[in-house]
């Protein structure tokens, strides 16, 4: 096995139940996300770790990662009721060799860990890009669709430099109470 996160031979794993959920550092999680994410490859690890709460996970088999998830206090916590008591799934990316239902399995396992790790967090949230996904993983994990944006939003502001928007598609917010 290579030392690189990407140059490894990934076996075809029969079921996500064979994976181990493991916590990894934000820099490694951001690199895996850049490799696998279908729509939002760019996320800077410094923007993850500066939050009140954050945690990054992989689903791995024999210490080889097949999926990654990055959680933090919501970016727009000040716009949400109890925003500092929420945790947002900022990114989830899965390699092509992962078995079916990996994302839903991972959501369930992460929920259990987050509930223990952050007892003050009351709810999980995530935003679905409606141009790229159908919300299947959230439906399968019993999350609730709670709102839909009217139009996509670009975070650029006058006087503050931002990265180019990766998507301005309509977003659907999903929530799971803990």
Three-class SS state of 17 = helix
Residue for token digits 């992460």?
110
Predicted local confidence at residue 150, as pLDDT:
65
Report pLDDT for 6.
54
Within a domain: 9: no
* Non-local CB neighbours of 60 within 8 Å, separated by 6+ positions: 19, 20, 22, 66
Q: Is residue 13 part of a domain?
A: no
Q: Is residue 11 part of a domain?
A: no
C-alpha triplet 14, 19, 22: angle, nearest 5°: 160
Model pLDDT, residue 1: 36
Phi, psi (rounded to 5 degrees) for 127: -115, 125
108-to-11, 133, 161 alpha-carbon distances in Å: 23, 19, 37
Q: Domain range spanning residue 127?
A: 18-177
Q: What is the pLDDT of residue 158?
A: 60
Q: Which residues contact 147 (CB under 8 A, 6 or more apart)?
A: 172, 173
Per-residue CA distances from 7 to 10, 26, 40, 174 (Å): 9, 19, 21, 34
C-alpha to C-alpha distance for 23 and 136, rounded to whole angstroms:
25
Q: Which CATH number do you get for residue 117?
A: 3.40.630.30
Please tell me the predicted confidence (pLDDT) of residue 151.
62
Q: Indicate the DSSP class of residue 92.
A: E
Asked, for residue 102, whether it belongs to a domain, the answer is yes
How confident is the model at residue 178, as a pLDDT?
A: 96
Could you tell me if residue 76 is inside a domain? yes
- The answer to whether the beta carbons of residues 91 and 126 sit under 8 Å apart is no
In a domain, 61, yes or no: yes
With residues binned 3-state (H G I as helix, E B as strand, rest as coil), the percentages for the chain, rounded to 5, are: 25, 30, 45
What's the pLDDT at 32? 96
Residue 1 located in a structural domain: no
Q: Which two tokens stand for residue 77?
A: 């916590």
Alpha carbon 58 to its chain's center: 10
Structural domain tally of the chain? Answer: 1
Q: Is residue 137 part of a domain?
A: yes
The rounded average pLDDT for each run of 10 residues, N- to C-terminus, in the chain (178 residues) is: 54 93 97 88 85 94 96 88 94 94 98 97 92 87 88 54 61 93
Could you tell me the pTM of the whole model? 0.84
């Amino acid at each position: 096995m290579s030392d690189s996160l990407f140059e490894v031979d990934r076996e075809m794993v029969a079921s996500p139940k064979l994976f181990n959920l493991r916590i990894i550092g934000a820099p490694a999680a951001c690199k895996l996300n850049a490799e696998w994410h279908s729509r939002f490859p760019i996320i800077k690890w410094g923007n993850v770790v500066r939050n009140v709460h954050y945690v990054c996970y992989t689903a791995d088999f024999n210490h080889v990662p097949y999926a990654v998830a990055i959680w933090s206090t919501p970016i727009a916590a000040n716009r949400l009721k109890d925003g500092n008591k929420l945790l947002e799934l900022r990114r989830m990316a899965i390699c092509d060799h992962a078995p079916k239902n990996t994302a839903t399995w991972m959501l369930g396992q992460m929920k259990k860990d987050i509930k223990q790790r952050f007892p003050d967090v009351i709810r999980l949230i995530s935003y679905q890009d409606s141009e790229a996904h159908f919300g299947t993983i959230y439906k399968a994990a019993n999350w609730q669709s709670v709102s839909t944006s009217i139009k996509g939003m670009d975070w650029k502001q006058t006087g503050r430099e931002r990265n180019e928007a990766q998507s301005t598609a309509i977003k659907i917010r999903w929530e799971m109470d803990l």
